[in-house]
Structure 1
């Protein structure tokens, strides 16, 4: 249910070719964000390939009740399937569509620079040397997200690979914990153990600036949480050989399944259903995201060309 239905604002765009028998009926419905703190923009239309063919055979109506008179007026209506609109250039990690290997689609150095990666050595050392008893204790305390706790059970024995995975897991865990915050009131919100270069990265790349009572604040808006989620997915793909359990990440990020699926599809992942790991919450019907080549064609691209013709 909508918390504040009165605050919703929509815009309708119609095709300017009023003489064309088909184009004159084309409409685009947009629900735009009113502020950076709100949800993503949503877009729907009545002419793209995603519109159900059965809609052309049906008539829809909406009733408007006059509370004073108790009378209802009925109007013709049209169904629009609204989808979130992601600004891929600012929210998703840089995608190399010409990559010939999955690891080059979302390059690791675009997620963590060499200097940032180097800074993770000290805080990740606790993961490198972790014991089974410590993992069990952390699981009981829920001190880390489920994805990280599960992956800690399978650290490589090779020293270099073990250190690499530990650094990745520490940063992924920090990203997820950072996403829980709303307004950032501290200069180093993740505590003294977080390297300053990582704190600066979080503040610069994953927060929005807003003004409140004459002062500037950093906040994690809905679009910034989407960006954090995209980077979490990209890092999880590097950790798990480019195939990862989206449902576990979704639960860790406290997101709805539809939001996680939308982001994964925007990142060109192939999504399938699998049985989750035993013992995890909702261990049936997990969504598995796979990054493989060739990349799936983005379905929205055809609609983008059509929208350019609209006023």
Structure 2
């Protein structure tokens, strides 16, 4: 009978130094025992993208072979699959499994890279043309060549000058202030790239910004439990939410639910998702526990991180941050969701208060979405309270094309 053996896993999943599988790009090795192998690891143990970098070196009497698992020389299969090597101990009949990585070893010839670089440097097309102009060019071409050489600035000198100027500006204003200015300029430059999927030629207003693109069917189904809890809130609990959190846009629709049971469930799920978007817009650095206390499903949380945050590397780890441009994107999605919740009409005043943005920026977002702005009556005071003074936006077909501020021209008065 064949002897039985058992399998034993050795090491942790993150340990990639146990085994290395390599191949030679220029042939096969007959005597592998004559090669000296050395594994080099990255000295940066903090950066999660660099600490797993490895370089394998095989040295022989004639040549040296080098392979790496990153950059252009690394194999892409290492990022797509996990490879394991089994080593059978014939005495204990146990097979140990070690995690391995694949390396493609290429020969390194001393002086070859320098020679290729020198040859490429001396045989550029520009230098060939310049040498021809110097030998056979006209006087006009020679003057142009000499003028171009006089105006030529060395790249190193230019980079040093730019670096000194940038350092002086950073020392004067501060890095954080400069990053804020750049982010604000990028967010104000173009609102169209942050809009949700839009069909301007739709036959009904509900299909211009489809609800399935804002809250997909899978996410809508995953919010069943959270929506049921929100639909079951009492008047006292809603009042407590108003005093503590201040999500007036959400509470407005929860206090006036639809008459049908299906409509109330739909409204409750959309209100819960809207509350997550509003809370996310008021944060800067978002941790992985966002929305867990409120009962947010994992699939919805991952969608929020992927769609409305940017990854930054801070203090040795990757963090999710809500930038200024992402805050504008959140405003467009909140406004589109409010249109579906309020019969294609949204309250812009409540939205800018909940998000902490200025009213002018919310109006610019509504204009970029092609909405019709409701003009408040002039010369009349509100009779039924402050609600009459709120600015509203409605989705009416065809969409309105608002003129930007920069395209307006004042006409001169004729005297």
- Paired with 2:333 and 2:308, the residues of 1 have a C-alpha distance of 10
Higher RCO (Cα < 8 Å, 6 or more apart): 1
Residues 276, 120 of structure 1: alpha-carbon distance in 2 compared, 3 angstrom cutoff: farther
The higher radius of gyration belongs to 2
1:111 to 2:214 alignment: yes
TM-superposition CA deviations, 1:224-280 (whole Å, max 9, x none): 11111110000000000111110011101111111111111111111123488967x
1:163 to 2:265 alignment: yes
Give 1:218-257 correspondences, 5 Å limit: 218-257=320-359
- TM-score in terms of structure 2 length: 0.51
Asked if the contact 2:191/2:328 (under 8 Å) is kept, the reply is: no
Q: 1:286: how far off? A: 1.8
Structure 1 residue matching 2:401: 3-state secondary structure: coil
Structure 2 residue matching 1:41: 3-state secondary structure: helix
Structure 1 residue matching 2:313: 3-state secondary structure: strand
Determine which of 184, 207, 217 is the counterpart of 1:40. 184
Structure 1, unmatched stretches of 5+, are: 9-32, 43-82, 304-311
Q: 1:212: how far off? A: 2.3
Determine which of 174, 180, 188 is the counterpart of 2:289. 188
Asked if the contact 2:191/2:365 (under 8 Å) is kept, the reply is: no
Residue in structure 2 matched with residue 293 of structure 1 by the alignment:
397
- TM-score in terms of structure 1 length: 0.67
Structure 2, unmatched stretches of 5+, are: 1-169, 408-415
- Paired with 1:278 and 1:188, the residues of 2 have a C-alpha distance of 42
Residue in structure 1 matched with residue 228 of structure 2 by the alignment:
125
Give 1:7-26 correspondences, 5 Å limit: 7=173
Give 1:136-151 correspondences, 5 Å limit: 136-139=239-242, 141-143=243-245, 145-151=247-253
Determine which of 259, 267, 279 is the counterpart of 2:361. 259
Asked if the contact 1:36/1:221 (under 8 Å) is kept, the reply is: no
- Paired with 1:237 and 1:277, the residues of 2 have a C-alpha distance of 26
Q: 1:283: how far off? A: 4.5
Asked if the contact 2:228/2:268 (under 8 Å) is kept, the reply is: yes
Q: Tell me the C-alpha RMSD between the 2 structures.
A: 2.9
Q: 1:147: how far off? A: 1.2
Residues 204, 297 of structure 1: alpha-carbon distance in 2 compared, 3 angstrom cutoff: same
Residues 143, 87 of structure 1: alpha-carbon distance in 2 compared, 3 angstrom cutoff: closer
TM-superposition CA deviations, 1:133-190 (whole Å, max 9, x none): 3323333x33350111121111123110010000011110111011111112x22312
TM-superposition CA deviations, 1:19-46 (whole Å, max 9, x none): xxxxxxxxxxxxxx9658853327xxxx
1:101 to 2:245 alignment: no
1:269 to 2:413 alignment: no
How many residue pairs get matched? 230
Q: 1:220: how far off? A: 0.4
Asked if the contact 1:276/1:286 (under 8 Å) is kept, the reply is: no
More helix by share: 2
Q: 1:215: how far off? A: 2.9
- Paired with 2:367 and 2:360, the residues of 1 have a C-alpha distance of 10
Residue in structure 2 matched with residue 71 of structure 1 by the alignment:
none
Residues 251, 144 of structure 1: alpha-carbon distance in 2 compared, 3 angstrom cutoff: closer
Residues 214, 38 of structure 1: alpha-carbon distance in 2 compared, 3 angstrom cutoff: farther
Residues 94, 260 of structure 1: alpha-carbon distance in 2 compared, 3 angstrom cutoff: same
Asked if the contact 2:246/2:354 (under 8 Å) is kept, the reply is: no
Asked if the contact 1:102/1:292 (under 8 Å) is kept, the reply is: yes
